[in-house]
């Protein structure tokens, strides 16, 4: 069924799972900001980092700043990703603003390394949970998508450039040491966000070339319950036997990170000389992605 981006999917917005993920995500973001980062003038990347910087310079309420700076991106998100996403993201921004304004959280520690690692991990996990709920906790990713279409850079390059300017401003305002620790905080957040967003079930494309391809096909399908695709190719072309070539089947299957090691070990038992390579993929859908065992 095709969903109209001009309509709001109220069922998705009021889904208990999405609401729960969003609330837990906002709670972790609030703990990271009030318990670790803001009391020690540490920055994260994106709009939250900009809000912290402006808050420290102007003393304006952080909750008001994070809501105000993110609102313009809702217009972009509404046009690019639909009304449902825009409304969910607005609710996330509003929850962050309210929790940062009215919840009291005592600083957990003043140790810079602990702040950088735990503050970054907490805010990354919180943002990852918000993404899993169908929203975003930071509008900079929407801006990066728009900028990518205009100037041809990819999303990661745009975000890196924006955050480089932010951390330079932090170095100017708070000193080079705090800025460097803020970079550690940012990378902790990014890694945690990526892990939560994709999880242990991040999909990987496994390619196998073997003289025992029929046995390997049966292994992957019958034992592991995975779907396969066969690409017709040629093997050979060795430096000392360049003219020798044989037709072969290149077996392609999509597996999770948890399944990858087991499947590779079983393939090695069938053919120790099998050639395998993997490609990490961001998203996969349809077909047989989960084991039927």
Closest CA to 277 of 246, 253, 242, 256: 253
**pLDDT of res. 5:** 54
Instruction: Report the pLDDT value the prediction gives residue 290, as an integer from 0 to 100.
Output: 56
Per-residue pLDDT, 158: 63
Residues of the chain with CATH 3.30.70.120: 203-280
Q: Is the pLDDT higher at 180 or at 259? A: 180
Which of 56-60, 102-106, 117-121, 190-194 bottoms out in mean pLDDT, i.e. has the lowest?
A: 190-194
Q: Residue 251 in contact with residue 242, Cβ under 8 Å?
A: no
Average pLDDT, the chain: 83
Reported pTM? 0.70
Per-residue confidence band for 3, with pLDDT thresholds at 50, 70 and 90: very low
Query: Cα–Cα distance between 89 and 261 in angstroms, integer?
Result: 37
3-state percent helix, strand, coil for the chain, nearest multiple of 5: 60, 15, 25
% of the chain with per-residue pLDDT over 70: 84
Write out the two tokens for 167. Answer: 């951390």
User: Once rounded to an integer, what is the mean pLDDT over residues 211-218?
Assistant: 91
Task: Grade residue 238 by pLDDT with cuts at 50, 70 and 90.
Answer: confident
Beta strands in 138-264 (DSSP E): 203-209, 229-238, 241-256
**What average pLDDT does this structure show over 89-97?**
93
Smallest Cα–Cα separation from 132: which of 11, 16, 18, 281? 18
Among 112-126, 155-169, 240-254, 268-282, whose mean pLDDT is lowest? 155-169
Q: Compute the average pLDDT of residues 62-80.
A: 86
Encode 115-128: b = buried (16+ Cβ within 10 Å), e = exposed.
Answer: bbbbbbbbbbbbbb
Query: Residue 94 in 3-state DSSP?
Result: helix
At the topology level, CATH places domain 203-280 in Alpha-Beta Plaits (3.30.70)
Choice among 5-14, 30-39, 262-271, 278-287 with the minimum mean pLDDT: 278-287
Task: Quote the pLDDT of residue 267.
Answer: 93
Strands (E), the chain: 203-209, 229-238, 241-256, 275-280
Segment 105-108 long-range contacts (CB within 8 Å, at least 24 positions apart): 105/30, 105/31, 105/34, 105/35, 106/35, 107/34, 107/35, 107/36, 107/39, 107/40, 108/35, 108/36
pLDDT attached to residue 2: 39
- Residue scoring higher pLDDT (176 or 283): 176
Residue-level pLDDT at 1? 37
């Amino acid at each position: 069924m095709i969903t109209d981006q001009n309509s709001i999917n109220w069922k998705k917005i009021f889904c208990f799972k999405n609401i729960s993920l969003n609330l837990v995500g906002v709670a972790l973001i609030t703990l990271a900001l009030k318990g670790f980062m803001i009391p020690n003038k540490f920055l994260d990347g994106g709009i939250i980092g900009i809000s912290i910087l402006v808050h420290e310079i102007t003393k304006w309420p952080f909750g008001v700043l994070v809501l105000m700076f993110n609102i313009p991106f809702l217009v972009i998100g509404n046009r690019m990703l639909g009304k449902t996403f825009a409304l969910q993201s607005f609710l996330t921004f509003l929850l962050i603003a309210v929790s940062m304004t009215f919840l009291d959280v005592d600083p957990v520690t003043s140790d810079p390394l602990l702040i950088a690692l735990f503050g970054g991990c907490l805010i990354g996990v919180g943002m990852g949970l918000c993404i899993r709920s169908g929203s975003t906790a930071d509008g900079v990713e929407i801006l990066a998508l728009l900028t990518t279409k205009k100037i041809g850079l990819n999303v990661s390059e745009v975000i890196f450039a924006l955050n480089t300017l932010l951390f330079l401003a932090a170095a100017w305002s708070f000193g080079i040491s705090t800025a460097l620790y803020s970079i550690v905080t940012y990378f902790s957040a990014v890694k945690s966000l990526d892990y939560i967003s994709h999880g242990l079930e991040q999909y990987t494309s496994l390619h196998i070339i073997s003289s025992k391809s029929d046995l390997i096909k049966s292994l992957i399908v019958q034992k592991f319950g995975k779907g396969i695709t066969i690409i017709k190719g040629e093997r050979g072309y060795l430096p000392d036997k360049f003219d020798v070539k044989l037709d072969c089947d290149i077996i392609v299957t999509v597996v999770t990170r948890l399944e990858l090691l087991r499947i590779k070990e079983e393939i090695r038992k069938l053919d120790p000389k099998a050639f395998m390579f993997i490609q990490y993929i961001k998203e996969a859908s349809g077909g047989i992605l989960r084991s039927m065992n």
